[in-house]
Amino acid sequence: MRKSPWMLLLFILLGGLLGGILGEILRVMAPEGAIQSIFSTALTPGINPPLTVNLILLRITIGFTLKMNLLTFLGIFLGVYLYKQV
10 Å Cβ neighbour count for 15?
Answer: 23
Alpha helices in the chain (DSSP H): 5-29, 34-40, 70-85
What is the C-alpha to C-alpha distance for residues 21 and 74, in angstroms, rounded to an integer?
A: 12
Q: What is the mean pLDDT of each run of 10 residues along the chain (86 residues)?
A: 87 94 87 82 89 94 92 94 91
Q: What sign results for the dihedral spanned by CA atoms 43, 49, 53, 57?
A: positive
Give pLDDT, residue 1: 61
